[in-house]
Structure 1
Amino acid sequence: MRSLLFSLAACAAFAVAPAQAQDQDASPTAADLPDAGGDFAIVGAGAAILPDYEGSNDYSVTPFPAAIGRVSGFAFTVLGNRASVDLIRDGVGPTWDFQAGPIAVVNFNRSSVDAIDDIRVASLPERDIAIELGGYVGIGKTGVITSDFDRLSASLSYRTDVSGTHESGIWTPSVSYSTPLSRKALVGLFVSAERVENRYADTYFSVTAPDAVLSGLPAYDADGGWKHYTIGLAFTHSLTGDLLNGLQLVAGGTYKRMLNDFGDSPITSVAGSRGQWLGAVGLAYSF
């Protein structure tokens, strides 16, 4: 879910500058974008189809809010259960962009057994909501392949649970690419992965002997490591005006593959699926 929302946010946020690029009749340069480095905000809401828990093959529809923007050169993102701020001011036009700042995530995985359809997993102990705090660094380049306005970026984040739920850290490398198709449309691609520590694996993917008796799943001791990779596509199209101002339709989808002990865990391999599809669609307003 976080990866998909991130891709949707990147797609919508990057639309502010390239909205004036790649028009059918012109291909402007950074000089034609006097406000490209100015303040902006995009707010919206949508619905996402996602697994009942991490590793599930049962799906449900969940609403999510979103707000992204830039104030005095500092970019911020609030997407559902995730928030981040880039404390390094953005440049204007085709340039390198260095990123660093804090992130916060509220992890709801298996925090409500009522939301889990599989009775075996629902019979396992319910987990508390985890509060994960950390930071990230990244680098991006605007004006790479198709025009002065496409963008390639890479980032690495680390966050750790501060609520005592799984008490472990999560590393997330990611690479994304966005390019405008016109003044009204933008497409984005991304790939990401997560590497987690042992306590995370035990909390969400191990099955103790007593829990095995209760659930009917085989006992399993999961170790930390690379948990999954995700690839995805996001698209935004202006419904009124252009991507600089007005109402936008934003949609996207991802494929997520559970790896190593996380894919082998009976919570995934018996009760769920190693491969998972996610989708989201929503409306956003930029100003």
Structure 2
Amino acid sequence: MKTVLALVATLALPGLAVAQDFGAPARSLAFDLGLGAELGPSYPGSGTDRVTPWIIIGGTGSGTAGMGNVDQQGLGISPSVGTKGKRDFTDGDELIGLDGIDGAVELGLRLSYGLGPVTGYGSVRRGFGGHEGVTGNFGAKYRINVSDRVTLWTVAEAVYGNAEFNDTYFGVTAPESRASGLPPYEAGSGINEAALTLQARYALSENVSLLGEVRYGRLVGDAADSPVVQDETQSSVRLGVTRRFSFGF
């Protein structure tokens, strides 16, 4: 765990928001940290939900479209951090006979371009732990400033994975097929989900905010055709609180 945290810190430092007033020597370094809860599918393709922790790093929501206090204008590069929960037979009788999958941490980079209230973005992450594949997402978001305290974002995005990632969560090997009764299945690389999201931020104070998110996802491609999938609809709700840390130098 200490190694993972060190990797996250190493990736995060170059992507923290840095602002400079060229009329003065002062600079500032700012980033968000927070924690919340997510109600969503027990595993990719599950037909049942469970509550899991929502870790919020740098205002990015663990790899989702960013919800920073001010969306960066122009080109931006920042860390992208994601997580995948474990999967085993305790998550549903339909998984009996399938190999268990450990929880995974995903580390990578996010590239964005902001123009007024619109931001386009794309990310790529490599998994460590339960999967060692490559995944990420790309899409666009639109910011609506409701008031000084309330900001909304509408987001449309697609999620993709390479063959190793998709086959880990949606494939069925020959031994698993014999043990579970499911047909053998191999999932190839490509887009596995399309989603629409509504995000909201309510500023409790200058540095503390409540975050909320309602997401509607739909599995597509090889993922949707997988015999492991119980429900192609993958919706979730998140609620959390963040604290902005700023340092001048």
TM range, smaller chain: 0.7 to 0.9
- Note the C-alpha offset of 1:174: 1.8
Pair 1:158 & 2:124 matched: yes
Gap change, CA 1:46 and 1:246, over 3 Å in 2: same
Q: Deviations over 1:100-136 (max 9, x none)?
A: 24434343352x544x1x1121431012344433323
Gap change, CA 1:141 and 1:169, over 3 Å in 2: same
Q: Deviations over 1:206-246 (max 9, x none)?
A: 1123212322323222222211111100112234x5xxx15
Pair 1:133 & 2:107 matched: yes
Pair 1:275 & 2:233 matched: yes
1:249 corresponds to: 210
- Separation in 2, partners of 1:94, 1:187: 12
**Aligned-partner SS, 2:148:** coil
Pair 1:205 & 2:179 matched: no
1:108 corresponds to: 85
Q: Aligned match of 2:74 in 97, 112, 116?
A: 97
Residue pairs, 1:12-51, within 5 angstroms: 39-51=29-41
**Aligned-partner SS, 2:218:** strand
**Aligned-partner SS, 2:228:** helix
Q: Quote the sequence identity (%).
A: 25
- Separation in 2, partners of 1:238, 1:224: 40
Aligned residues of 1:120 and 1:216 also touching (Cα < 8 A): no
- Note the C-alpha offset of 1:84: 11
Greater fraction strand: 2
**RMSD of equivalent CA atoms:** 3.1
Pair 1:61 & 2:51 matched: yes
Gap change, CA 1:238 and 1:265, over 3 Å in 2: same
Aligned residues of 2:35 and 2:53 also touching (Cα < 8 A): yes
State how many pairs are aligned.
Answer: 217
Q: Aligned match of 1:222 in 169, 187, 195?
A: 187
1:172 corresponds to: 137
- Separation in 2, partners of 1:79, 1:247: 15
- Note the C-alpha offset of 1:189: 0.8
- Separation in 2, partners of 1:61, 1:175: 27
1:24 corresponds to: none
- Separation in 1, partners of 2:106, 2:208: 32
- Separation in 2, partners of 1:205, 1:59: 18
TM-score normalised to the size of structure 1? 0.65
Gap change, CA 1:251 and 1:204, over 3 Å in 2: same
Q: Deviations over 1:28-74 (max 9, x none)?
A: xxxxxxxxx95544443221101110111110011223243xxxxxx
- Separation in 2, partners of 1:134, 1:94: 20
- Note the C-alpha offset of 1:274: 0.6
Aligned residues of 2:36 and 2:238 also touching (Cα < 8 A): yes
Gap change, CA 1:107 and 1:283, over 3 Å in 2: closer
- Note the C-alpha offset of 1:205: 0.9
- Separation in 1, partners of 2:133, 2:83: 14
Q: Which amino acid aligns with 2:186?
A: D
- Note the C-alpha offset of 1:196: 1.7
Aligned residues of 1:84 and 1:102 also touching (Cα < 8 A): no
Q: Could you list the runs of 5+ residues in structure 2 that have no partner in the other structure?
A: 1-26
Q: Which amino acid aligns with 2:233?
A: G
Gap change, CA 1:66 and 1:195, over 3 Å in 2: closer
- Note the C-alpha offset of 1:79: 4.0
